[in-house]
Amino acid sequence: MDGEWVAPKISNPEYKGEWRAKQIENPNYQGVWIHPEIDNPEYVHDASISSFDNAFVGFDLWQVKSGTIFDNILVADSLADAKSFYDETTGATISGEKKAKEKADEAARKKAEEEAKKREEEDRANAEDEDDEDDDDEHEHDEL
């Protein structure tokens, strides 16, 4: 083999650049449309909505990478209480969690390196086998 195969490139004299949809003039264009804000005469503000004893919070999550953990969720009206809760929960465990994550990442990196080394050795062995087959083919031609 004398390198990786590359498809030949043939020039196209009719090529006029990247295709784009044609734009036509719109004499009535008035800029970006902004929806009108219309008052609702039937709207009545209800102050009791914020005074419920039971409250609910919903999370709509979309994760690209797995492994995210949601823990120790607090809804409070006091910053001092929130900081105290953080120190008792997340603040107390965050360093240990970081160490565990680093250890898991290191193990994954080592595993990936070992797999890459194994693939390299297999590729090298396959290349040697192909070279041996090529040598056999040359000898057959010499005999003819």
Per-residue pLDDT of the chain (144 residues; tens, 9 = 90+): 688 988 888 888 898 889 999 889 999 988 899 999 999 999 988 877 766 666 667 777 777 777 777 776 787 878 898 899 888 888 888 888 899 999 999 999 999 999 999 999 988 888 887 766 666 555 555 555
Number of domains in the chain: 1
- What residues make up the domain containing 136? 71-143
Position 41 in a domain? no
Position 42 in a domain? no
Position 31 in a domain? no
Position 53 scores a pLDDT of 66
Cα 58–Cα 61–Cα 67 angle in degrees, nearest 5: 120
Among 69, 66, 57, 61, CA closest to 93: 69
Position 95 in a domain? yes
Position 139 in a domain? yes
